Structure 1
């Protein structure tokens, strides 16, 4: 009698959980997701606090600049030197010359 051999099993015969659709989320996955979201919220709040601190520092510097400009203006008491008209700018001769021939490469 001849023995009947079963065909060898391949990749298509492996049983996996891939096709299984569970609509309900296990509790441990839900708690893990919530903890990730809380960590993200904590990171974002730290970023917001740092940005607010930087903005406050910039605003404080603006106030210092305005105060210093005011002090300089008060010290001048209208004694600013008179403005002189700007003389016409001389043109540089470089680049003003007409090209005698076209640009070419030689090897």
Structure 2
């Protein structure tokens, strides 16, 4: 099942696609502690059901010197979600954090990766 990654600083014009998923259940939502992540999480919660919703500072953006640390933190959060054996998960953070974990991602908005 998928883990949906959403970049808070992306265009996010297609977040409306989630509105058509009325009451779909996500086992877990993990968002960075910044206000943008919380706002996107709040908006998605109007249309989706999150069994657990967690704010995690590990997903916060770090200055340029901390790129390896961001990649490690993102990897740790993904490993945690995978180890929970959930059906669906969602992570909301900045493009910089997501792209530090996988430089080939080059994500502008949102994407789903396999568990």
- Structure richer in strand, relative to its length: 2
Compute the TM-score of the two structures, normalised by the length of structure 1.
0.21
- Structure richer in helix, relative to its length: 1
Compute the TM-score of the two structures, normalised by the length of structure 2.
0.19
Greater Rg by CA: 1
